[in-house]
């Protein structure tokens, strides 16, 4: 088995790895690190959770440290582009941890907070900048950032960039980079447009492909519940109150939906918080901290807000609404069963969502074991209570949504704007669209990046609720449940990913 010590990484990096208790590289790290250390371009097909951040951060830091030179004023030696601010923060935190004994500087640039601290962080030059495309474009327009000093360019989660309409800004940014540079390109999937972008950006790349999604997914116990749309909330409350649910992500399609579900759960006595782009950065960080600390049992999130969030030990994923694209289903359920653990994924399917389910089953070539909880009287009664606790939202037929992806409507507007612009205009036009206005957050950090994450209180907005109001379909069971209940019994779904007949 390869050890980190076999890879020829600089001593201070090995020390940082030892500090973290990492001794063995993950498969993507073992393959990518030697290639990147040699200065070659890399195409990596890998998802979050495979250790891909360290796969690029470690050899990049090694290269920067071996050839120390000051970054130009307002410039940086390494640029990492990330689709969302959460992922940007995570990547930067990783860089900082691995650079702890190197004295290299790391800064993040993303929308939604003030420009001033970012400008100050960039002023003297930074070794590594992790940025979302929109805010970086703004800085370039304002001349508070320059790309002339970039030696290494990393594009992370390229497929998500495509979903968020960032391909145009990425091309613009790339066109301003020095020709002589190293390029690293990571994507979980390779839709044709992303393949094309990779072809444009990469020169004779080595390619590394890790963990076909199915191998992650195989460890997840999946089930599906047919349920009336308006009864989803009490059903969710019922399932969440099972003791086996330790920490869960609940996916909704819209930001408003996420708020309503979280509000209902809180009122029903279940610790919940929502996270999406309309929340302030502070709210998002608090919700995430509370979730990580185990104070929040259910984090209700939109796809984009949840993407890239690295929280381990998620026991359950609930698809409160099915996503509009099958790939999102795989991404969502992959949030559980990380780091070799098993997980449970339960999806709700109302009549309007049948075609989405069909697409998912076709794309994954699996049939999800299903249960029928329609016409459940207890849930019907509870749904009436639910409406009082938090009025139900109007249900929108998902087939009327943009069929190309599950980007929320406000993001689609942004994408249109991206497409419409592109006249070379600068001056702050382009905003971070990440997550449909999920974006607009920013964070600048100065040299040597003392972790800004330390010491944020974890309080989340979930709170305690008043208890006791959630709907109960039947007697609560303490033990491990995987399948939903009907009439008080517990059904365990043994099948995992049985083939479609």
Binding site for ligand AMP (CB under 6 A): 22, 24-26, 29, 48-54, 310
Residue 186 CB, nearest approach to ligand AMP (Å): 10
Nearer to ligand AMP, 22 or 264 (CB): 22
Contact 90, 107 (CB under 8 A): no
The 10 Å Cβ neighbour count of residue 206 is 16
Nearer to ligand AMP, 310 or 361 (CB): 310
Return all residues near 358 (Cβ < 8 A) that are at least 6 apart. Answer: none
Question: 439 exposed, middle or buried (CB, 10 Å; 0-12, 13-18, 19+)?
Answer: buried
Residue 216 CB, nearest approach to ligand AMP (Å): 11
Residue 19 CB, nearest approach to ligand AMP (Å): 12
Residue 335 CB, nearest approach to ligand AMP (Å): 12
Q: What stretch of H or E contains 19?
A: helix 11-20
Residue 79 CB, nearest approach to ligand AMP (Å): 18
Q: What stretch of H or E contains 240?
A: helix 232-240
Nearer to ligand AMP, 87 or 349 (CB): 87
Q: DSSP label at 439?
A: -
Residue 43 has φ and ψ, to the nearest 5°, of -115, 115
Contact 361, 367 (CB under 8 A): yes
Nearer to ligand AMP, 26 or 315 (CB): 26
Contact 15, 103 (CB under 8 A): no
CA distance 178 to 184: 15
Nearer to ligand AMP, 52 or 181 (CB): 52
Contact 350, 227 (CB under 8 A): yes
Nearer to ligand AMP, 211 or 434 (CB): 211
Residue of minimal Cβ distance to ligand AMP: 53
Residue 111 CB, nearest approach to ligand AMP (Å): 22
DSSP string, 82-122: -SSHHHHHHHHHHHHHHTTTTT--EEEE-TTS-HHHHHHHH
Nearer to ligand AMP, 76 or 186 (CB): 186
Return all residues near 90 (Cβ < 8 A) that are at least 6 apart. Answer: 53, 308, 309, 310
Residue 296 CB, nearest approach to ligand AMP (Å): 19
Residue 51 CB, nearest approach to ligand AMP (Å): 3
Nearer to ligand AMP, 35 or 147 (CB): 35
DSSP string, 32-70: HHHHHHTT--EEEE--TTSSHHHHHHHHHHHHHHHT--P
3-state secondary structure of 298: strand
Q: Identify the CA nearest to 104 among candidates 77, 79, 86, 85.
A: 77
Residue 49 CB, nearest approach to ligand AMP (Å): 5
Torsion of CA 424, 429, 432, 433, to 10 degrees: -90
Question: 36 exposed, middle or buried (CB, 10 Å; 0-12, 13-18, 19+)?
Answer: buried
Nearer to ligand AMP, 25 or 462 (CB): 25
CA distance 254 to 247: 21
Number of helical (H) and strand (E) elements in the chain, helices listed first: 18, 14
Alpha carbon 128 to its chain centroid, in Å, reads: 21
Residue 192 CB, nearest approach to ligand AMP (Å): 25
Nearer to ligand AMP, 218 or 310 (CB): 310
Residue 17 CB, nearest approach to ligand AMP (Å): 8
Q: DSSP label at 498?
A: B
Nearer to ligand AMP, 53 or 443 (CB): 53
Nearer to ligand AMP, 44 or 369 (CB): 44
Alpha carbon 6 to its chain centroid, in Å, reads: 31
Cα of first residue to Cα of last residue in the chain, in angstroms, is 40
Residue 243 CB, nearest approach to ligand AMP (Å): 26
Residue 253 CB, nearest approach to ligand AMP (Å): 25
Structure tokens at 189: 């999937």
Nearer to ligand AMP, 25 or 444 (CB): 25
């Amino acid at each position: 088995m390869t050890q980190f010590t076999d890879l020829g990484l600089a001593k201070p990096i090995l020390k940082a790895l030892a500090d973290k208790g990492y001794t063995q590289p993950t498969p993507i790290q073992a393959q990518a690190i030697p290639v990147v250390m040699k200065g070659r371009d890399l195409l990596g097909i890998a998802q979050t959770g495979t250790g891909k951040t360290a796969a690029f951060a470690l050899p990049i830091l090694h290269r920067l440290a071996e050839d120390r030179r000051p970054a130009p004023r307002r410039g940086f030696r390494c640029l990492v582009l990330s689709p969302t601010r959460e992922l940007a923060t995570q990547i930067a935190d990783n860089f900082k941890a691995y650079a702890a004994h190197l004295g290299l500087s790391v800064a993040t640039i993303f929308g939604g907070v003030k420009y001033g601290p970012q400008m100050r962080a960039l002023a003297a030059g930074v070794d590594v900048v992790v940025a979302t495309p929109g805010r970086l474009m703004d800085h370039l327009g304002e001349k508070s950032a320059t790309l002339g000093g970039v030696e290494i360019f990393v594009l992370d989660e390229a497929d998500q960039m495509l979903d968020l309409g960032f391909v145009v800004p990425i091309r613009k940014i790339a066109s301003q980079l020095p020709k002589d540079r190293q390029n690293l390109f990571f994507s979980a999937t390779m839709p044709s447009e992303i393949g094309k972008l990779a072809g444009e950006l990469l020169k004779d790349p080595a390619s590394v492909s890790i963990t076909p999604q199915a191998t992650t997914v195989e460890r997840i116990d999946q089930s599906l519940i047919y349920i009336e749309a308006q009864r989803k909330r009490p059903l969710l409350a019922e399932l969440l109150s099972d003791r086996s649910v330790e920490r869960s992500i609940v996916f909704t399609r819209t930001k408003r939906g996420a708020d309503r579900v979280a509000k209902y759960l809180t009122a029903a006595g279940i610790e919940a918080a929502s996270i999406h782009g309309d929340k302030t950065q502070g709210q998002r960080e608090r919700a995430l901290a509370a979730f990580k600390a185990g104070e929040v049992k259910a984090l209700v999130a939109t796809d984009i807000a949840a993407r890239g969030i690295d929280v381990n030990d998620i026991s359950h994923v609930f698809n409160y609404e099915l996503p509009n694209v099958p790939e999102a289903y795989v991404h969502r359920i992959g949030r559980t069963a990380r780091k070799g653990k098993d997980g449970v994924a339960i999806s709700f399917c109302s009549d309007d969502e049948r075609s989405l389910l069909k697409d998912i089953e076709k794309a994954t070539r699996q049939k999800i074991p299903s249960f029928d909880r329609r016409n459940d009287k207890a849930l019907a009664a509870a749904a009436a209570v639910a409406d009082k606790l938090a009025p139900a939202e109007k249900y929108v037929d998902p087939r009327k949504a943009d069929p190309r992806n599950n980007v929320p409507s406000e993001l689609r507007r942004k994408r249109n704007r991206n497409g419409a612009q592109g006249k070379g205009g600068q001056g702050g036009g382009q905003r971070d669209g990440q997550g449909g206005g999920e974006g607009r957050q920013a964070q600048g950090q100065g040299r040597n990046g003392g972790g800004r994450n330390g010491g944020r209180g974890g309080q989340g907005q979930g709170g305690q609720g008043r208890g006791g109001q959630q709907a109960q379909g039947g007697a609560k069971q303490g033990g491990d449940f995987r399948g939903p209940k009907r009439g008080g019994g517990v059904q365990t779904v043994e099948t995992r990913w049985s083939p479609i007949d």
